[in-house]
A and B are shown apart, each in its own frame.
Chain A
Amino acid sequence: MKDATDSFKRSVAEALADTELQRALQNVKSGFIVKSAAAKAKLPEFGTLRAEARAIKDHTLTHLDLYLEAYERKVVESGGQVHFAETAADARDIVLKLCREHGAKLVVKGKSMVSEEIGLNAHLQAAGIEAVETDLGEYIVQLRGETPSHIIAPVIHLNKETIAADFRRAHRGRPTSRRLNDPQDLVAEARAVLREKFLAADVGITGANLLLAETRSSVIVTSEGPGPLTSTLPRTHIVIASIAKIVPTLEDACTILRLLARSATGQEITTYTTFATGPRRGDDPDGPTAYHVVLVDNGRSEMLGGVFQDMLRCIRCGACLNHCPVYGAIGGHAYGSVYPGPMGAVLTPALQGIDHARDLPNASSFCGRCEEVCPMSIPLPSMMRAWRERDFAQGKRSRIGRLAFKVWAFAAKRPRLYHPLAGMSVPLLARLAGGRGHFNRLPFAKAWTGTRDLPAPEGKTFQQLYAKARRRHRQ
């Protein structure tokens, strides 16, 4: 996973200036938001289900060790293997080792955010194993050497002309005169190219939306069908999932699945929901003969029992991205993390350390929409605030900034000092603004006034107005 460091501000500026990206981001608003609201309106029990889903995950997380053990026992019973990975590097190495053991030259992959998180493709490529993404969006992103810009719509930042150019460059040996004008043409070509990969692959790697302790199943939702093809055609199936994907039972899966598609794309259900449960059985004519599960920790166990535990309820629906005004303005890539938007602003510092992601929890207007639409009721704004506090406590912010806050805090804690000071400076600022009511430019506030005006105070402080109103009231 790429470091989400100080490049953030530069990426934001680039994103805001990118007209193509800005056009594409309008699709998020007109598409996902409207459809999701309509789907929720058709399910009056949505609120109840949301509360129940939260309780399911809370119960699972507080018993996570035991559910992982129960899940593992079931997998092993059926001839599969479970591998625990402490870190991203461990997870990469485990998957590589499994691929080598199964003699893999070509690996097909279903959509998996955790594999993006651990940088799996690059690791396999470096070892001479071709790893091909098969989810259409992920495939296009891979051709371009990018990361997804949205967790459920990876190429939301691209238009069809760009994708057609990518296909012409990457798919050699096809007639140059072929038609690639419409999404239909592009999908048909990708289908043909990827079908060959599916049939030739030695190993299939999928992620998991859920892992079920009851039946040892891994659950994948998809509209296109790359997941089930990946888990059916190759000889070996490897599931890679974070330890937070476990839920107890099929009934628990039902409750969560009722929320997932409605919150994500606004469908009532995704076209395919696949429950894959181990290797081929006695009379199975198809399916893999070997089955492995790689359970990735990579910082998650340390989130338990603390302020960030609630983040582990996340089911990766992307609703918080879709509804976030900051995501809507800059898109996913500017975050510099495979997890963008509000969920990424909380998760990325937990996975990489706040040192590597300090701008992300600040990239928020704190409007609270993310928490409102989160099907798992994750308190994203308060967790972003918690990261800000930790970052500040580490003392890495600029000295002038810290000094300014210290001075302000000193005064703010002493009302007898604060009120007269405020009473003097407010009219002063009002006069400086010279009747315009705002500043176009202000020293020490260039970052603000560079893109918008700063409103000037109107003459009196709240305390002064309050005191005056009270006097009038008494009279």
Chain B
Amino acid sequence: MSAPDEARAIVLARIRSALGVATLDRARRSAVARRLERHPRGTIPAQAVQSPAGCIARLSEMLTKQGAEVARVATPEDAVHAIASYLSSNNLPPRLRMGSDLRLAALPWREAWDIGRVFGRAEPTDKACLSRALVAAAETGTLFLASGAENPTTLNFLPEIHMVLIRASDIVGSYEEAWGRLRGVYGERSLPRSVNLISGPSRTADIEQTIVRGAHGPRRLFVLILP
């Protein structure tokens, strides 16, 4: 094994010699810099271009098709009721893990006084977690969850039941628009440690091509859409 810098130099030199290019080719360098700076869009499928109402409808439809359960609630009170009844109808203890997301904290939790909320990263014993999606792309029913103290990544994957709240105004048509929102929050060329695109509950078809839910991640994904 050669020294780290040497290996790097050798690989890059091999690439340049195979391509027949010089290290300091200005035109090539500016082509790369320009592309990274401007990040031009490719073709966006027509199905990803919808009215706001169309986006909500497609997001629900795609998520449902991919095995998630979707509830459109009218008010924050209804959201809390929906969460409480989802827990009780699935025979789960009234206990919910969540991060420090302000919009989740602002929900009228007094409506369900018996739900015990615990905060921070998920623990292996947590049955149900609640996160907020920063944005969602309707085209394939895809929720974008950003890591951080507000919505720790472990909430997305450790529990058996994952609940995700998304505001209607955060539902866009295409992936490109969704990334545009993230660039608005985190800046150009910068993302949080982890962005998880989630389009349904965990599943596997590895054994005899039979689909089984809850392979490693949540068995159930419950999505609440709030106006």
Contact = CB atoms under 8 A, between A and B. Distances in A.
Contacts of A306: 18
Nearest to B146: A275
Nearest to B31: A63
Contact of A93 (B1, B12, B36): B1
Nearest to A283: B149
Most buried by A among B45, B179, B202: B202
Contact of B19 (A65, A159, A267): A65
Interface in B1-59: 1-2, 4, 7-8, 10-12, 14-16, 18-21, 23, 28-29, 31-32, 35-36, 39-43, 45-47
Nearest to A223: B203
B197 interface: yes
B29 A295 contact: no
B89 interface: no
Contacts of B20: 305
Interface in A223-282: 223-226, 228-229, 231-233, 243, 248-252, 254-255, 257-258, 265, 267-281
Interface string B178-203: 01000000000111111111111111
Contacts of B174: 254
B12 A69 contact: yes
B102 to A, nearest CB: 14
A155 B207 CA distance: 7
A285 B194 contact: no
A249 B194 contact: no
A269 B204 contact: no
Interface size class of B (residues with CB under 8 A): 35 or more
A140 B206 contact: yes
B74 interface: no
Contacts of A214: 36, 39, 189
B42 A232 contact: no
A85 B194 contact: no
Given A84-B8, A297-B11, A45 B45 contact: yes
**Interface size class for chain A?**
35 or more
B157 interface: yes
A184 B18 contact: no
Contact of B28 (A66, A137, A194, A301): A66
A184 B19 contact: no
A225 B215 contact: yes
A90 B2 contact: yes
A315 B46 CA distance: 24
Contacts of B175: 254, 257
B212 A223 contact: no
B28 to A, nearest CB: 6
Given A63-B32, A284-B147, A286-B152, A277 B192 contact: yes
Contacts of A159: 208
Interface string A152-190: 011110111001000000000000000000011011100
A315 to B, nearest CB: 15
16 contacts: A43-B47, A45-B43, A65-B23, A72-B8, A153-B209, A199-B124, A213-B32, A226-B216, A251-B176, A265-B205, A271-B198, A276-B193, A281-B192, A283-B148, A285-B120, A286-B154
Given A187-B207, A232-B153, 13 more contacts: A45-B46, A74-B189, A82-B8, A160-B208, A194-B216, A225-B217, A251-B176, A269-B141, A274-B197, A277-B195, A279-B193, A281-B192, A301-B11
